[in-house]
Amino acid sequence: MERSFGKDWQKHFQEINLSPFAAASIGQVHEAILVDGRRVALKVQYHGISNSIDSDLDNMKMMINLLGVFPRGLYLDELIRVTRHELHWETDYEREASYQARYGKAISVSPEKFYAPKVVPHLSSGQILCSEFVDGVEIDTLVGESQEVRNRVATLMLELTFRELFEWKLMQPDPNPANYLYNKAEKRLYLLDFGAGRDFENEFLDNYINIIHGAVMSDRKKIMDYSLASKFLTGEENREMSEAHHTGVMIVGEPFREPGLFDFHSAGFSERCIKLLPALSQHRLTPPPEEVYSMSKKVVGTYLMCIKLRAQVPAYDIFQQTYTNW
């Protein structure tokens, strides 16, 4: 705090709780009250954490190579390169503040559904992020709530994922349940932690939505053509890899295929996807586009949350509206 705001930094606060109410790998969060009475969350980065990212990843890569446990088809070098970028992004709180503000503006078109806390700029820096405090419960704690509540939260999560990509072209890709708070009284989703936020280009999004549409329409040619265009595939894959890719895409598109409510819990996604891993890890000829690493985390995380909540979601309607608007 002294490095960022000087020795008299305490003048900005009425009160600070020195015990953090949340902590993660790169920082911890304290509740505080500003001199003007605003309640805020003060995220403070652990000193020197950003300097350890490169050496930690290099050491991890060395150990994995020595042990020989990473399948060739998962492209370790590319995975570590993307991870390195994202971790450096997450330690840059000025970047995060910028994305948080942009994201808050984007989702303000649906204030009854989504909300991102406002940043307090004069108390934020590269290692400190001061934001409006919001109240809610972490979404993975709602498994004992009514079917109506669970359906509402899962529907918001799935709608959010599609609108991030195909309306705002701006995604918060970290699926950690702690990054999503649900306010039961307002029936609204509060969104937190924009450190890994990223933008998406039209060309990538157009290819991706058409891959999904191919799955919805059970159109194998459309799936494979747009998979080639987006560089998911090279065109030289063997039959086993092509079949695994096609099957995986069809699984992803399954919730959007039929009108009505889709029951994620009974779909058996996890079991079917696990069966594809050997072929995908052994026969893939090219790493997926860089954007896929971030996007897949969010999509998979959203599906898993829908499964955990045993939710029934109008997935068909969400996709049809998204595709029509696109």
The token pair that represents 64 in the structure block: 């994995």
Element (H, E) at 131: strand 128-132
Distance from the Cα of residue 87 to its chain's centroid: 14
Place of tokens 């991870």: 83
Q: How many angstroms separate the CA atoms of 223 and 216, rounded?
A: 10
Whether 168 and 107 have beta carbons less than 8 Å apart is answered as yes
Give the C-alpha separation, 85 to 294, whole Å.
11
Distance CA 294, CA 214 (A): 22
Q: CA-CA distance, 161 to 239, in Å (whole number)?
A: 32
Catalytic residue among 140, 174, 193, 263: 174
Dihedral over Cα of 92, 98, 101, 107: its sign: negative
The residue assigned the tokens 């997935």 is 315
- 174: which 2 tokens? 């970290």
- The CB density around residue 69, as the number of other CB atoms within 10 Å, is 8
Closest by alpha carbon to 237, among 249, 247, 248, 224? 224
Per residue in 178-188, is it b (16+ CB within 10 Å) or e — as a string?
ebbbbeeeeeb
Please name the residues in contact with 64: beta carbons below 8 A apart, sequence gap of 6 or more.
70, 76
Distance CA 292, CA 295 (A): 5
**Which residues lie across from 131 on neighbouring strands?**
41, 119
Q: How far is the C-alpha of 90 from the C-alpha of 306, rounded, in Å?
A: 26
User: Quick check: is 174 catalytic?
Assistant: yes
Instruction: State the DSSP H helix or E strand holding residue 283, giving kind and residue range, or none if neither.
Output: helix 269-283
Annotated catalytic sites, by residue?
174
